Amino acid sequence: MQDIEDRDTEGRRHFLKCMAWAGTGTLWLMHGGVLKAQPLTTKGATAVTDATFSFVQISDSHIGFHKAPNMDVAGTLRQSLAMINAQKKEPDFVLHTGDLTHLSRPEEFDALSGIMQDARMAKVFYVPGEHDVIGDNGAEFFRRFGERQQSGGWYSFDHHGVHFVGLVNVLNLKAGGLGSLGADQLAWLKKDLAGLSADTPLVVFAHMPLWPLYPDWGWGTDDSNEAVSYLRRFGSVSVLNGHIHQIQQKVEGNITFYTARSTAYPQPAPGAASAPGPLKDVAPNDLHRYLGIRDIRHVQGSHALAVTEEVMA
Amino acid sequence: MNVMSWMLVVISALVLSTAALSPVMAANAAMTTPAKPIAVDIRDFTFAPKTLTVSAGTRVVWTNRDEEPHVVVSAGNQFSPSRALDTSDSYAVTFDHAGTYTYYCAMHPMMVGTVIVK
């Protein structure tokens, strides 16, 4: 009897532990051409009413992963989507910044599609992560989730005067290198942006960070400098990435770089462990974090939000 | 047969002969497999040992000890890439020909290793 109770307690503790950081996404609000981040909560955002429009970024759902600290990555993705559906003002669309799956397996892609359909997501724009292109250079990913604008899988679109660009930086990676855009994609990007006036707000998204966030762990893109050089003339540029399963930000002139959390599991801060990978023991001996779920979200979200406002003001 | 068809025949013959020389094809033949395979551990996003020197005919077995999947791929396309290696999954290649084989992880390309076959 005691054993059963212990197991139940452990199970609940584990669930709450996951809840403390999983099921997360970022609500992006466009205010006069400048993006502002809000944590995604069940309560809905406060500042949505005066925004031009909003969209949500989710990332790194890793469907197929089934180890500590998250045995139910499908469940935590569903929680994220439920939060999106709980917004008072429906976001116009969702960006998924890659690593939909853990191992690029057909059944993992199937599961991801099913979860998105069940949650009745409106339009979702995807870019692949390195976990989505294993063994076939992304053929299956692009067949299922591609926008089919360019043969390389990259694309752009306009929404309420904002130009969005989805880039692919997880293919044709070279030994010893980082993420890669490649000459063809860079040439296309240059051309894609050439006709735009400098006051067009830009949102550029890709899986791996488009800045040298922590190259020792492969957290960067070899030719991102070239891409960023095309962005510099614009007055408001937001670069949204995933890959590292935590929020990191950097501002360079008019360009704000942002990495999103994972809906599946966190990774250590840059250099805080011997290698990247799932943080198996989330916040050990920190029991208060397992309680008051909403407050934890609020505290973590407020922190991120404060940083965003500080750098974007 | 026109010139184009002749070229195709020649190219096909070249491709076939090259494939026959590759270490993977040799591994499938399994003529003289030495008793003891050599292990390379994939741990903390590194190959250990990073550089491995073996004699011709040695079977090298990579095993993923990380929670993160990895893919072993030859930098010069000298041997077939592995599938996605999940935790505890292994991949083996028998190196029958002397040479330097640089490889990396297709997912995390900063992970690089070398097999030197004497």
Q: Choose among B21, B16, B23, B17: nearest CA to B56.
A: B23
Total residue length of chain A: 313
Cα(A132)–Cα(A142) distance, integer angstroms: 9
Neighboring chain A residues of B110 at a CB cutoff of 8 Å: 176-178, 215-218
Neighboring chain B residues of A216 at a CB cutoff of 8 Å: 110
Cα(A240)–Cα(A229) distance, integer angstroms: 16
CATH number at residue B41: 2.60.40.420
State whether B75 and A175 contact (CB < 8 Å): yes
Q: Which residues pair with A94 in a beta bridge?
A: A56, A124
* Number of structural domains found in chain B: 1
Cα(A248)–Cα(B85) distance, integer angstroms: 29
Residue of A nearest to B68 (CA): A277
Given a contact cutoff of 8 angstroms between Cβ atoms, the answer to whether A180 and A171 are in contact is: yes
Cα(B45)–Cα(B107) distance, integer angstroms: 11
Q: Is A24 helix (H, G, I), strand (E, B) or coil?
A: coil
| High-pLDDT (> 90) share of chain B, % | 69
Residue A194 touches partner B, C-beta closer than 8 Å: no
Residue A294 touches partner B, C-beta closer than 8 Å: no
Q: Which residues pair with A30 in a beta bridge?
A: A35, A53
At B5 the pLDDT is 55
Residue among B86, B106, B110 whose CB faces A218 most closely: B110
- Find the domain containing B51 and state its range: 3-117
Residue among B46, B66, B71 whose CB faces A134 most closely: B71
Given a contact cutoff of 8 angstroms between Cβ atoms, the answer to whether B53 and B118 are in contact is: yes
Half-sphere exposure of A53 (CA within 13 A, CB side): 11
Q: Which residue has the tokens 């899986």?
A: A207
CATH superfamily of A9-312: Metallo-dependent phosphatases (3.60.21.10)
Q: Which two tokens stand for residue A14?
A: 């584990």
State whether B106 and A278 contact (CB < 8 Å): no
Q: Which two tokens stand for residue A50?
A: 């005066």
Residue among A67, A130, A178 whose CB faces B67 most closely: A67
Residue among B44, B45, B83 whose CB faces A135 most closely: B83
Residue B97 touches partner A, C-beta closer than 8 Å: no
Distance from the B44 Cα atom to the nearest Cα atom in chain A, whole angstroms: 5
pTM to 2 decimal places: 0.81
At B27 the pLDDT is 47
Distance from the A44 Cα atom to the nearest Cα atom in chain B, whole angstroms: 34
Cα(A38)–Cα(A66) distance, integer angstroms: 29
Q: Choose among A271, A211, A273: nearest CA to A238.
A: A211
What stretch of H or E contains A23? none
Distance from the B109 Cα atom to the nearest Cα atom in chain A, whole angstroms: 5
Domains of chain A: which residue ranges?
9-312
Q: Which two tokens stand for residue A200?
A: 């067009």
Residue among B68, B83, B86 whose CB faces A277 most closely: B68
Rg value, chain B, Cα: 16
CB pairs < 8 Å spanning A and B: 62
Residue B75 touches partner A, C-beta closer than 8 Å: yes
Q: Which two tokens stand for residue A155?
A: 């694309």
Sign of CA dihedral A96, A101, A107, A112: negative
Q: Is residue B65 pLDDT above 80, yes or no? A: yes
Neighboring chain B residues of A173 at a CB cutoff of 8 Å: 106-107, 109
Residue among B46, B68, B112 whose CB faces A176 most closely: B112
Kindly tell me the burial class for residue A249, based on how many C-beta atoms sit within 10 Å of its own C-beta (0-12, 13-18, 19 or more).
middle
Cα(B63)–Cα(B39) distance, integer angstroms: 7
Residue B69 touches partner A, C-beta closer than 8 Å: yes
State whether A277 and B106 contact (CB < 8 Å): no
pLDDT (tens, 9 = 90+) of chain A, 313 residues, equals 333 333 444 444 444 444 444 456 888 888 877 888 877 776 655 556 667 888 999 999 999 999 888 888 999 899 889 888 888 888 899 999 999 999 999 999 999 999 999 999 889 999 999 999 999 999 999 999 999 999 999 999 999 999 999 999 999 999 999 999 999 999 999 999 999 999 999 999 999 999 999 999 999 999 999 999 999 999 999 999 999 988 888 999 999 999 988 888 888 889 989 999 888 776 533 322 322 121 122 222 332 322 222 222 2
Q: Is residue B117 pLDDT above 80, yes or no? A: yes
Helix, strand, coil percentages (3-state) for chain B, rounded to 5, are: 20, 35, 40
Residue B101 touches partner A, C-beta closer than 8 Å: no
